[in-house]
Amino acid sequence: MPMTMTQKILAAHAGLDHVTAGQMIEAKLDLVLGNDITAPVAIKEFEKAGFDKVFSTEKIALVLDHSTPCKDIKSAQLCAIVRDFANQHNIQNFFDVGTVGIEHALIPEHGLAIAGDAIIGADSHTCTYGALGAFSTGIGSTDMAAGMATGTAWFKVPAAIKVVLTGKKQVYVSGKDIILHLIGLIGVDGALYQSLEFTGEGVSALSMDDRFTISNMAIECGAKNGIFPVDEKTMAYLKGRTDREVRVYTPDVDAEYVRTITINLDTLRPTVSLPHLPSNTRTIDQAKGMPLNQVVIGSCTNGRMQDLREAAAILNGRKVAKNIRCIVIPATQEIYLQAMEEGLVKIFIESGCAFSTPTCGPCLGGHMGVLADNEWAISTTNRNFVGRMGPTTSMIILSNPAVAAASAVAGCVADPADLT
């Protein structure tokens, strides 16, 4: 029976020869992930259920990334719960202040997610690891508790949408524009509980950072997961990061898809999402000139090296407009160091940006850049829901890093091509 890439991974982890869309299965897990917001709830449920031992000290990752360094007493107490649990159960992959990074950049960086894995995380953007050819999806904290105890999870096997990428992306276009364009096409529920499987000649032109960004935002159109084929770029990224066996799964040529969507990268323009949904997309030509108060460059979606390089290339030799606060947040300590070594931090600071330690911070309205009433931000984050980054009267525009940097310089939403 023909299967998609996701279905093959799930079948293998369930110990089955094949699975079909809609089938309920119990699958073994390669990684269970939680952070300082979601893990404390999972830990409470773990203990409430009477569990006293985790299924593996190496296949659980706890990452204190959302509100660290702790912004207030409540966040400090939550982090303390996770620290105590990690120490009590000898969790090998525990990341705290000084070693922490935004989880969905940190996990691949440390080789904790690789091709062929089945991964759950108590964070909706756990689907990021599909960039590596893994099945990864967000779950609730109760499911995380069960996963930590048993090393398994129940899944309904998803149907799939094939997304065919053709051509090659143009200057100032990145993975962010591809996924925003797709979400704009199908809507925030257009792939509800389905797998987005990316294919086509255009995939080879995408960097791994592009693929991470695209997979990261699969959830924003309701997808269960987003996944890319494993190719030379995938293997090059994984080299030296893991000593585990890489398992490569490919879809059958006659695999069934609910629909096929083709995106021509040759004609794709920088794309933004206006308030208050990621699906409310416009090309940069339709949005430029809109007023702003703040720019955020970072997050699990766009805080990687490619993102910082693209932003720095725009900001180099220029100044942030007087009416703008520009905050740059590298996704991990490793990225922070590399940005320093490449001189990017100097560019950001000299241009008038604030440069932060790795944190989710402003993305969820936590800290390091919360908005005030009626303020507008353009951000490289993943959600622009009402009240996401501040009061309900604040507004968020989603964009790629080049557009965000150009907007910081212009003092309004701007096309980076207009600055060159």
Residues 199 and 308 in one domain: no
Residues above pLDDT 70, as percent of the chain: 100
What pLDDT, in 10s, does the model give residues 108-148? 999 999 999 999 999 999 999 999 999 999 999 999 999 99
Omega cis (within 30) before 275: no
CA atoms within 13 Å, Cβ hemisphere of 3: 21
pLDDT of 420 over the 80 cut: no
Quick one: average pLDDT of 223-245? 95
DSSP 172-214: T--HHHHHHHHHHHH-TTTTTTEEEEEESGGGGGS-HHHHHHH
Do 50 and 190 lie in one domain? The reply is: yes
pLDDT-derived band at 1 (thresholds 50, 70, 90) equals confident
pLDDT of residue 208: 97
User: Is the domain of 34 the same as that of 106?
Assistant: yes
270-284 average pLDDT score? 96
Angstrom distances, CA of residue 171 to CA of 108, 218, 270, 360, 400: 26, 23, 9, 28, 12
**Do both 279 and 410 map to the same domain?**
yes
pLDDT (tens digit per residue) in 330-345: 999 999 999 999 999 9
CB 29 within 8 A of CB 151: yes
Domain membership of residue 333 (yes or no) is: yes
The verdict on whether omega for the bond into residue 125 sits within 30 degrees of 0, i.e. cis, is no
Q: Are strands 118-121 and 31-35 parallel, antiparallel or unpaired?
A: parallel
Q: Do 299 and 396 fall into the same domain?
A: yes
Average pLDDT over residues 289-304: 97
Rounded distance between C-alpha atoms, residue 266 and residue 136, angstroms: 29
* Total domains in the fold of the chain: 2
Residue 345 pLDDT: 98
Tell me which of 263, 283, 302 is where a domain ends.
Answer: 263
Separation of alpha carbons 62 and 78, rounded Å: 12
Q: What is the pLDDT of residue 364?
A: 87
Query: What pTM did the predictor assign?
Result: 0.94
Residues 328 and 236 in one domain: no
User: Given 205, 230, 263, which residue is the final one in a domain?
Assistant: 263
What is the residue-averaged pLDDT of the chain?
96
pLDDT exceeds cutoff 90 at 287: yes
> Taking every pair of C-alpha atoms in the chain, what is the biggest distance, in angstroms?
62
Please indicate, yes or no, whether residues 88 and 160 belong to a single structural domain of this protein. yes
Query: Looking at the structure, do residues 213 and 283 belong to the same domain, yes or no?
Result: no
Domain identity same for 215 and 361: no
Report the number of secondary-structure helices (H) and strands (E) in the chain.
14, 18
Q: Is residue 185 part of a domain?
A: yes
Tell me which residue range forms the domain holding 203.
5-263
Q: Is there a single domain that holds both residue 170 and residue 280?
A: no
Do residues 247 and 294 both lie within one domain? no
pLDDT of residue 371: 96
Q: Which CATH number belongs to the domain containing residue 340 in this structure?
A: 3.30.499.10
What is the structure's pLDDT at 95? 97
The verdict on 352 and 412 lying in the same domain is yes
Contact 411, 287 (CB under 8 A): no
Q: By the 8 A CB rule, do 241 and 110 touch?
A: yes
- pLDDT tens digits, residue range 353-395? 999 999 998 888 889 999 999 999 999 999 999 999 999 999 9
Torsion 312-314-316-320 (CA) sign: negative
Residue 203 inside a domain? The answer is: yes
pLDDT tens track for 240-256: 999 999 999 999 999 99
Average pLDDT over residues 93-110: 96
Is 268 part of any domain? Answer: no
Q: How far apart are CA 418 and CA 264, in angstroms?
A: 23
- How crowded is residue 133: how many other Cβ atoms within 10 Å of its Cβ? 27
